Amino acid sequence: MLSMTNLSKVFRTELVETHALRDFSLHVDEGEFVSVTGPSGSGKTTFLNIAGLLETYTSGDYTLDGQNVFTLNDRQRSRLRNEKIGFIFQSFNLIPDLNLYDNVDVPLRYRGMTAGDRHQRICDSLEQVGLANRMKHLPAQLSGGQQQRVAIARALAGDPRFLLADEPTGNLDSQMAASVMGLLQDINQQGTTIVMVTHDPELARQTQRNVYVKDGRVCDEAAPVQLATVNE
Amino acid sequence: MTHNWETGPILRAMSRNKVGALLIALQIAITMTIIINAIFIIVERSALMGRESGVDEANTFYLTSTGFGSAFNASSVIDEDLRRLRGTPGVVDAVQINAIPISGGGWSMSLKTETGADIDGIGTANYFVDEHGVDALDLQVIAGENFTASDVRLRGRNQSDWPPVAMITRALAENLFPDTNYADVVGKTVYIGNDEPVTVTGIIDKLQAPWIGWDRLEHAMLTPEKMDFSSTRYLIRTEPGQRDRLMAEVETALADAYPNRIIRDVDTLTATRERSYRRHSAMITILTAVMVLLCTITALGIVGLTSFNVSRRRKQIGTRRALGATKPAIIRYFMLENLMICTLGIVLGSALTVGLNMALVQWFNQTALDWFYIPAGIGVLILIGQLAVLGPALRAAQTPPALATRTV
């Protein structure tokens, strides 16, 4: 599904070169739920940006769903993001002036789907996260946990091959975090590959595999851990 | 794959954040109202200024000769002056004339086709000229014939009767005899002043009256008369390119030929036109400046609002990019948003434009607006809006998708 080999990312200014990722190698199989942890500045977000085609990389190989992404232009990268990747952000990134329905609709419109198809998908995905009855509400009228559920619905609506979650519970209290984590596990169990960046070891333990990143390198690729359930 | 224009979401988002959009729409409406009416007035004024007088303006000048002293014999001095002027190298022809076309001052009379105090006459400007008038003014006789020397009579200062023949412009002929071909007006009798009969001997293609604001501007009549006045005016037509040189030369020659007079008001038809239409050209300049200013302010308003929106929505734009929006999709979003604001302004502006024009028609005798000015104005406003929004939209499209994952 996702294969990075000896990937490096260098940020250059006139005075200094910063190696955000060095010889970064990671392989994620279809259906896996992988967490990426590490201290601040370790390169987690850079990894996430590159994995999600939000940024380019300096050298190495990155294959997403069998496609080498290095040579893709901006339009092709946008299309790949839209069709294959679902994003879940730490601060939800919902559009405040749009109601839940229109928020979930955003990526579907960029795919050029018909209104009928979009409507069905929006309703289904909001149903899946338990917010179908609030689709006309604005994000500000929801709790943080509910907003993150909307963001998950938005990510799921496009039926992506894998989800990239950036600290998905970072802005939530423990109860809401558990609820969101449970939802992600449900989604994973339905076959969606998930890669989650987090600083929380407790969340990482609930995934199938944890990848520890330090100084831009994968330091420890832990053995699969037993999948924890929300109730545990 | 179909293009999904985000009309609905944009409209709903704007309705939740409407103050800025409404202000810009209002500004567009006011700009549209003013520029359409201003353009209409400019076009009208330009058309007025573009009317031809019928005279060879570029090569014509005139002057006033005022004799003084008991020995001054106007008739002989005028004859001598005209002989001298017509014999000057570079002069095509010269004529004594009572008024200058489009100059603002002259004579007018009323012509009738029947006698009787209860018959309304048709106003016309009246020029006194001799048989050289047609050539000096560069007129075209399109029917009948020019005066001969024997037609010309001497008019005294207090004389009120009229010569028996006249030439009139085609426009006047067609107004006097609407059911007759202008050429057939030659030989007909019209009545002037105290029901004095005058026979039309020639039709002139075009000659304007002295008053540019007069609704009978195209009505002119030439009568064959030499004026026995101590103060008189000569109109001189020169060969192309000779006018300016001859103005100074003629002034000196006439002053030297008979010292007991004053030569004054030496001026060109070009300068006369400029002076007569100065109010119109000033109006055009002011309206153009107002239009440019309003369009600039509106464009800057749109640039400001869009730039503000782009800055405010940077994170949102980054998120849209992360979710699959291409750069053109981001540009399209802002262009469409602007188009919707413009549309609101245009709808309001169309109503205001018609309202203002109706007010101008009612209170200032303005002509009613032609329908095509409104779609033309809409096109201009949309173009201004889209051009103004293009810069900020292009900047928005440069927002990196990675911005979506930044927390600050």
**Residue B18 resides in a domain:** yes
Chain B CB contacts of A107 under 8 Å are 323-324
Q: Chain B: give the shortest CA distance to residue A52, in Å.
A: 8
CB A153 within 8 Å of CB A128 = yes
B327–chain A Cβ distance below 8 A for any pair:
yes
Q: What pLDDT was estimated at residue A221?
A: 63
Residue A82 has its nearest CB partner, among B3, B323, B407, at B323
Q: Chain B: give the shortest CA distance to residue A57, in Å.
A: 13
**Residue A228 resides in a domain:** no
Domain count, chain B: 2
Which one, of B274, B146, B269, lies nearest residue B205 by Cα? B146
**Residue A226 resides in a domain:** no
For residues B203 and B244, state if they share a domain.
Answer: yes
**Residue A46 resides in a domain:** yes
Residues A78 and A81: their CA atoms lie apart, in Å, by 5
Q: What pLDDT was estimated at residue B281?
A: 95
**Residue A220 resides in a domain:** no
Where residue A34 sits, what CATH number does that domain have? 3.40.50.300
Q: Which strand (E) or helix (H) includes residue A3?
A: strand A2-12
A84–chain B Cβ distance below 8 A for any pair:
no
| HSE value, Cβ hemisphere, 13 Å, CA-based, for B139 | 31
- Which residues 113-142 in chain A show a CB within 8 A of chain B? 113-114, 138
The percent of residues in chain A predicted with pLDDT above 90, rounded, is 67
For residues B232 and B289, state if they share a domain.
Answer: no
Contact across the interface for A93 and B404, Cβ inside 8 Å: yes
For residues B221 and B302, state if they share a domain.
Answer: no
Q: Chain B: give the shortest CA distance to residue A138, in Å.
A: 10
**Residue A175 resides in a domain:** yes
Which one, of B288, B290, B294, lies nearest residue B384 by Cα? B294
Residues A120 and A101: their CA atoms lie apart, in Å, by 11
Helix H, strand E, coil C: the string for chain B is CCCCCCHHHHHHHHHCCHHHHHHHHHHHHHHHHHHHHHHHHHHHHHHHHCCCCCCCHHHEEEEEEEECCCCCCHHHHHHHHHHHHHHCCCEEEEEEECCCCCCCCCEEEEEECCCCCCCCCEEEEEEEECCCHHHHHCCCEEEECCCCHHHCEEECCCCCCCCCEEEEEHHHHHHHCCCCCHHHHCCCEEEECCCEEEEEEEEECCCCCCCCCCCCCCCEEEEEEEECCCEEEEEEEECCCCHHHHHHHHHHHHHHHCCCEEEEEEEEHHHHHHHHCHHHHHHHHHHHHHHHHHHHHHHHHHHHHHHHHHHHCHHHHHHHHHCCCCHHHHHHHHHHHHHHHHHHHHHHHHHHHHHHHHHHHHHHCCCCCCCCHHHHHHHHHHHHHHHHHHHHHHHHHCCCHHHHHCCC
**Residue A230 resides in a domain:** no
Q: What pLDDT was estimated at residue B299?
A: 92
**Residue A15 resides in a domain:** no
Q: Chain A: give the shortest CA distance to residue B404, in Å.
A: 7
Residues A35 and A165: their CA atoms lie apart, in Å, by 9
Length of chain A: 232
Question: Chain B: residue nearest A93 by CA?
Answer: B319
Cα A21 to the center of its chain, rounded Å: 19
Contact across the interface for B323 and A102, Cβ inside 8 Å: no
Q: How does the average pLDDT of chain A come out, rounded?
A: 89
Check the CA dihedral B200-B205-B210-B214 and report its sign: positive
The yes/no answer to whether this complex scores an ipTM above 0.85 is yes
For residues B181 and B227, state if they share a domain.
Answer: yes
Q: Chain B: give the shortest CA distance to residue A102, in Å.
A: 6
Residues B395 and A216: their CA atoms lie apart, in Å, by 31
Q: Domain limits at A114?
A: 29-57+72-210
Q: What pLDDT was estimated at residue A104?
A: 96
Chain B CB contacts of A56 under 8 Å are none
Chain A CB contacts of B13 under 8 Å are 95, 97-98, 102
B19–chain A Cβ distance below 8 A for any pair:
no
Interface-testing mutation among B4, B17, B406, with chain A (most A C-beta atoms within 10 A)? B4
For residues B79 and B216, state if they share a domain.
Answer: yes
**Residue B113 resides in a domain:** yes
Instruction: Give the residue ranges of chain B where pLDDT is below 70.
Output: 1-4, 407-408
Contact across the interface for B407 and A138, Cβ inside 8 Å: no
A32–chain B Cβ distance below 8 A for any pair:
no
Residues B122 and B106: their CA atoms lie apart, in Å, by 17
A48–chain B Cβ distance below 8 A for any pair:
yes
For residues B220 and B121, state if they share a domain.
Answer: yes
Give the CA distances from residue B31 to residues A10, A16, A209, B28, B368, in Å, rounded to whole numbers and listed in that order.
51, 52, 63, 5, 19
Q: Domain limits at B306?
A: 7-50+278-405
For residues B83 and B224, state if they share a domain.
Answer: yes
The percent of residues in chain A predicted with pLDDT above 70, rounded, is 94
Cβ-based contacts under 8 A for chains A and B: 94
Is pLDDT above 80 for A69? Answer: yes
Identity of the residue numbered A99: N
For residues B186 and B90, state if they share a domain.
Answer: yes
Q: What is the pLDDT of residues A137-194, one digit of tens each?
A: 999 999 998 999 999 999 999 889 899 999 898 888 888 888 889 989 999 999 999 9
Question: Chain A: residue nearest B398 by CA?
Answer: A74
Contact across the interface for A54 and B319, Cβ inside 8 Å: no
CB B151 within 8 Å of CB B200 = no
Interface-testing mutation among A36, A79, A110, A164, with chain B (most B C-beta atoms within 10 A)? A110
For residues B31 and B125, state if they share a domain.
Answer: no
B326: Cβ contacts below 8 Å, ≥ 6 apart: A74, A75, A78, A79, A110
Contact across the interface for A78 and B16, Cβ inside 8 Å: no
Contact across the interface for A113 and B4, Cβ inside 8 Å: yes
B117-122 long-range contacts, CB within 8 A, separation 24+: B121/B191, B122/B172, B122/B175, B122/B176, B122/B216, B122/B219
For residues B246 and B303, state if they share a domain.
Answer: no
Cα A231 to the center of its chain, rounded Å: 23
Question: Chain A: residue nearest B328 by CA?
Answer: A75
Q: What pLDDT was estimated at residue A170?
A: 85
Contact across the interface for B326 and A81, Cβ inside 8 Å: no
For residues B218 and B294, state if they share a domain.
Answer: no
A72–chain B Cβ distance below 8 A for any pair:
no
Q: How does the average pLDDT of chain B come out, rounded?
A: 92
Q: What pLDDT was estimated at residue A224?
A: 47
Q: Chain A: give the shortest CA distance to residue B313, in Å.
A: 9
CB A156 within 8 Å of CB A126 = no
Q: What pLDDT was estimated at residue A229?
A: 39
**Residue A223 resides in a domain:** no
Q: What is the pLDDT of residues A189-231, one digit of tens each?
A: 999 999 999 988 888 999 999 999 999 999 866 544 444 333 3
State the distance between the two ends of chain B, measured CA to CA, in whole angstroms: 35
Burial class (CB in 10 A: 0-12, 13-18, 19+), B206: middle
Contact across the interface for A110 and B323, Cβ inside 8 Å: yes
- Which residues 268-307 in chain B show a CB within 8 A of chain A? none
Domain count, chain A: 1
A79–chain B Cβ distance below 8 A for any pair:
yes
CB A51 within 8 Å of CB A223 = no
With b meaning 16 or more CB within 10 Å and e meaning fewer, what string describes A132-160?
bebbeebbeebebbbbbbbbbbbbbbbeb
CB B35 within 8 Å of CB B295 = yes
A20–chain B Cβ distance below 8 A for any pair:
no
For residues B44 and B126, state if they share a domain.
Answer: no
Question: Chain A: residue nearest B406 by CA?
Answer: A45
Q: What is the pLDDT of residues A73-126, one digit of tens each?
A: 999 999 999 999 999 998 899 999 999 999 999 999 999 889 999 999 999 999
Q: What pLDDT was estimated at residue A49?
A: 94
> Residue B1 is encoded by which pair of tokens?
């794959």
Radius of gyration from C-alpha coordinates of chain A: 18
